[in-house]
Structure 1
């Protein structure tokens, strides 16, 4: 049995689908969320990272865990809680979803500081481990959908900083390979798409896909904290976001790797293809 945390989310749902399609037993760990259900027949366990009893139920009879945590306020505590119950239950391996640039110093700050602590915990857990560090998700553009449908500009916190934007389905495919093949044990993979794109580049490719303009408006680093706080983001999450976006704006995420191609024996998907598949989200029309 393979436990997939975050199973109803952007990457986790693709991990579940791929595991099912390849005949592996998989259990979806979810929190109760109205309107977000798993397909019929899926082994589902309702659990919360802050409820140890529920985590123990989730890891019962599990061999491997796909560890994806997305706390509202950045913290390694959720990763550590799951690792503790997994180790006690005899789980043998873990694949941790982290983020590109984790642990790098940027001025006086550390990029992905909470991921860095969680990665250290994974390596020290006693479990066989693989760590995945994906670049910017193509699906982050879905946050623009309301603005685009309303003809409004989308905010650009990363300026002209280029990134190796990656399709979440490729992240999931690498995760499944790591969960099912011991050849990936002890590896840290930096996962990118096939080309470097700035946010305006993404907007241009998305505009081509949907047949309408996508306008961006630059949000200078000095203005970003106030805008993010006004959106309702918790202060600690704002701090982490500001560090990460300033790091990318400064060109430090101008990174392409061959890791997706090496693991999957095929090239990663292009952002343009992702945009075409998701055009309905931005137009309301198939």
Structure 2
């Protein structure tokens, strides 16, 4: 199969390309090919989310596209995703495996829940076969978020007493690769960790010696801005935590194991007694 991977210069897209390369013809779609060192067996094509013509050219002759999300402001992401879906349809790609989010819902407070839901609607209407990989929050990302919210002996987050099913990035990469070599499912697959973990337990594991303090969303956002975060990313992190507070990331499924043949990784570090 000829499989293209967007965002291949990133951590997730790079993992997917490497997982697929030994047995398939993998094309890494990157914005700056000269700056990209591909995994063994992976070829490179120039493609930019903001350039529809480059996307159509790169996707010509491709059987399956693994579509790893763009990022940035929500309006920009929605434009980028519309360009990718349109290019895939124009190039007659038979199967689009799209990364989405567990909380893909226009009714969510999370800013990217809206962009993910919109992208899913575009794919369903595009005429391509598709498989949606709705990933939960990456454990590696959440660990950094916890450490960044530490103030002395407290980790201050606006998450209430919620639970979250953190998933390892490598498990999502393996699931995307597994979906890419299957026929289109034309439905979604919910990629979660092995358990819904209380936020307080996550804090204890990722920030040893600190206690979890639930704070108002406004106070958390203000702290991010005071620390030099941009207004957009302060908004994005705050709205994600609001959706976690509402229990929108607590589902646990067996989809990772069903797709990859291995149980999802335990995501909390082992803390010394």
Common topology (TM > 0.5): yes
Distance of aligned partners of 1:139 and 1:181 in 2 relative to their CA distance in 1, 3 Å threshold: same
Unmatched segments (≥5 aa) in structure 1: 280-286
TM-score for the superposition, normalised by structure 1: 0.80
Q: Equivalents in 2 of 1:200, 1:51: separation in Å? A: 43
Which residue does 2:61 correspond to in 1? 61
Question: Does structure 2 conserve the Cα–Cα contact (< 8 Å) formed by 1:112 and 1:240?
Answer: no
Q: Which deviates more from structure 2 when the two are superposed, residues 64-73 or residues 112-121?
A: 64-73
- RMSD of the alignment, in Å? 3.2
Matched position secondary structure for 1:3:
strand
Q: Which deviates more from structure 2 when the two are superposed, residues 26-35 or residues 218-227?
A: 26-35
Which residue does 1:261 correspond to in 2? 257
Which residue does 2:186 correspond to in 1? 186
Match of 2:89 among 87, 90, 102: 87
Which residue does 2:121 correspond to in 1? 120
Which residue does 1:233 correspond to in 2? 230
Q: Equivalents in 2 of 1:130, 1:119: separation in Å? A: 10
Question: Does structure 1 conserve the Cα–Cα contact (< 8 Å) formed by 2:108 and 2:114?
Answer: no
Between Structure 1 and Structure 2, the one with more strand by share is 2
Q: Does 1:167 align with 2:164?
A: no
Distance of aligned partners of 1:34 and 1:89 in 2 relative to their CA distance in 1, 3 Å threshold: closer
Matched position secondary structure for 1:95:
strand
Instruction: Using the TM superposition, give the Cα deviation of residue 147 of structure 1 relative to its aligned residue in structure 2, in angstroms.
Output: 5.6
Distance of aligned partners of 1:154 and 1:13 in 2 relative to their CA distance in 1, 3 Å threshold: farther
Q: Equivalents in 2 of 1:61, 1:186: separation in Å? A: 21
Q: Equivalents in 2 of 1:171, 1:31: separation in Å? A: 23
Which residue does 1:16 correspond to in 2? 17
Matched position secondary structure for 2:250:
coil
Unmatched segments (≥5 aa) in structure 2: none
Question: Does structure 2 conserve the Cα–Cα contact (< 8 Å) formed by 1:156 and 1:199?
Answer: no
Q: Equivalents in 1 of 2:147, 2:163: separation in Å? A: 24
Instruction: Using the TM superposition, give the Cα deviation of residue 82 of structure 1 relative to its aligned residue in structure 2, in angstroms.
Output: 1.0
Q: Does 1:203 align with 2:192?
A: no
Which residue does 1:73 correspond to in 2? 73
Equivalent residue pairs, number: 267
Which residue does 1:284 correspond to in 2? none
Which residue does 1:37 correspond to in 2? 37
Which residue does 1:3 correspond to in 2? 4
Distance of aligned partners of 1:205 and 1:142 in 2 relative to their CA distance in 1, 3 Å threshold: closer
